[in-house]
Amino acid sequence: MAPRVARGQKNSTIKDVTMCKIHLSISQDASVGIDQSEAMLWTRIKDDIELQLPNNPDRSWSSWKKRYQGISKDVALFLAKEEEVE
């Protein structure tokens, strides 16, 4: 079995930041409102990511959603710890 090759940290960070910015923009879009389905929200996010990062491998909307959930959980834990310190 071949050893796993780590993905580029800088590339991952760029993807993560781009995804979070797009999520924030789309989720706060008043013209769409809160009535959009989960699939519609994440399909819009996926489509925008593909426009902004055209050289990315094709990922499903559910894959982007799963990545975002991991980031969101880590941010929530960080903020909770930061609040404890203050």
What six digits make up the tokens of 65? 């959603």
4: in domain: no
What six digits make up the tokens of 9? 């940290």
Confidence class of residue 29 from pLDDT cuts 50, 70 and 90? confident
What six digits make up the tokens of 69? 């959930």
Confidence class of residue 85 from pLDDT cuts 50, 70 and 90? confident
5: in domain: no
> By residue range, what is the domain housing residue 31?
10-85
Contact call for residues 61 and 43 (beta carbons, < 8 A): yes
Reduced to 3 states (helix: H, G, I; strand: E, B; else coil), residue 54 is coil
Residue 66: what pLDDT?
Answer: 94
Contact call for residues 11 and 55 (beta carbons, < 8 A): no
Residue 76: what pLDDT?
Answer: 92
Question: Does position 6 have pLDDT exceeding 50, yes or no?
Answer: yes
45: in domain: yes
- The CA distance from 34 to 51, in Å, is 23
Domain count, the chain: 1
1: in domain: no
68: in domain: yes
pTM of the model: 0.75
